[in-house]
């Protein structure tokens, strides 16, 4: 293929004009769903619960987890305020089960909407339907990247790729001159995201810090030098 005929990829720049569906796009009059509260550490759903409703986070933080072959918890998603979660209920067959766990990291307030009511709302709002479709695209991209992270067997490669994913979520581009990205995440959470044990993560992070690729201190955010870490992983 000639140089001029090569396919040109735009790094999802057209997607920058779209946004995912958030709590702010839902009716504010309480006509859709009802509010529920969960204490810190409470399960919003469990693996054998019916996948028949979707949630929007009003306050707090939620993680969606699965388990590895040894029964260890692996964090697949971290949900922040305003975001939908539990949306895979739309991919389940009738009477399908969750097969994951949704857990409140802090005290949480969520808007719970039944599958039927949410479908009815989407049928009435084309804008919400488009935003919800884009939300699926973003989540699919995130999951594909996470699978790629977990496919690496080397500790530095796996953890490094995870840090890069967290530092640059799908659809977001680093601006020129932006080298360092702060992450408010600890070794325990990184271990659950990377399907590694805590001590292994601590040792590996120490190696990355000695190479100047990350830096962290007690009670301060983890800082990732994105270009340096990218170059290191590429060379390795």
Give the pLDDT band (50/70/90) at residue 110. Answer: very high
Whose CA is closest to 45, among 12, 86, 79? Answer: 86
CA atoms within 13 A on the CB side of 234: 7
Q: Other CB atoms closer than 10 Å to residue 167's CB: what's the count? A: 21
Per residue in 117-135, pLDDT (tens digit) is 999 999 999 999 999 888 8
DSSP three-state, residue 215: strand
**pLDDT higher than 80, residue 217:** yes
**CATH code 2.60.120.10 for 17-142:** yes
Per residue in 179-194, pLDDT (tens digit) is 889 998 889 989 988 9
More confident residue, 9 or 96: 96
Q: Any idea which of 41-45, 80-84, 95-99 has the lowest mean pLDDT?
A: 95-99
Q: Residue 93 gets which letter from DSSP?
A: P
Write down the pLDDT at residue 89: 67
More confident residue, 14 or 80: 80
**pLDDT higher than 80, residue 59:** yes
Write down the pLDDT at residue 190: 92
- For range 5-14, the mean pLDDT: 39
**pLDDT higher than 70, residue 52:** yes
Whose CA is closest to 158, among 129, 185, 196, 127? Answer: 196
- For range 194-202, the mean pLDDT: 92
152-235, which class in CATH?
A: mainly alpha
DSSP string across 166-209: HHS-TT--PPTT--EEEE---HHHHHHHHT--HHHHHHHHHHHH
Structural domain spans, the chain: 17-142, 152-235
Write down the pLDDT at residue 40: 94
Q: What is the distance between the alpha carbons of residues 115 and 108, in angstroms, rounded to a whole number? A: 21
Per residue in 160-182, pLDDT (tens digit) is 999 998 888 654 444 444 688 99
Write down the pLDDT at residue 99: 87
């Amino acid at each position: 293929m000639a140089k001029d005929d090569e396919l040109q990829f735009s790094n999802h720049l057209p997607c920058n004009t779209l946004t995912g569906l958030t709590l702010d796009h839902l009716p504010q009059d309480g006509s859709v769903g009802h509010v529920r509260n969960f204490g810190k550490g409470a399960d919003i759903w469990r693996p054998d619960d019916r996948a028949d409703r979707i949630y929007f986070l009003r306050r707090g933080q939620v993680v969606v987890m699965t388990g590895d072959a040894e029964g260890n918890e692996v964090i697949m998603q971290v949900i922040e305020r305003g975001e939908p979660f539990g949306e895979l209920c739309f991919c389940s067959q009738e009477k399908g089960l969750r097969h994951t766990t949704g857990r409140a990291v802090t005290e949480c307030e969520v808007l719970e909407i039944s599958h039927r009511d949410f479908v009815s709302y989407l049928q009435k709002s084309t804008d919400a339907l488009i935003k919800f479709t884009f939300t699926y695209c973003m989540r699919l991209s995130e999951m594909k990247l996470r699978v790629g992270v977990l496919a690496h067997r080397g500790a530095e490669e796996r953890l490094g790729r995870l840090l890069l994913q967290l530092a640059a979520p799908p659809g977001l581009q680093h601006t020129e001159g932006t080298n360092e990205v702060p992450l408010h995440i600890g070794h325990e959470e990184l271990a659950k995201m990377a399907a590694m044990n805590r001590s292994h993560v601590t040792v590996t992070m120490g190696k990355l810090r000695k190479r100047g690729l990350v830096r962290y201190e007690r009670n301060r955010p983890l800082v990732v030098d994105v270009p340096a870490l990218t170059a290191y992983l590429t060379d390795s």
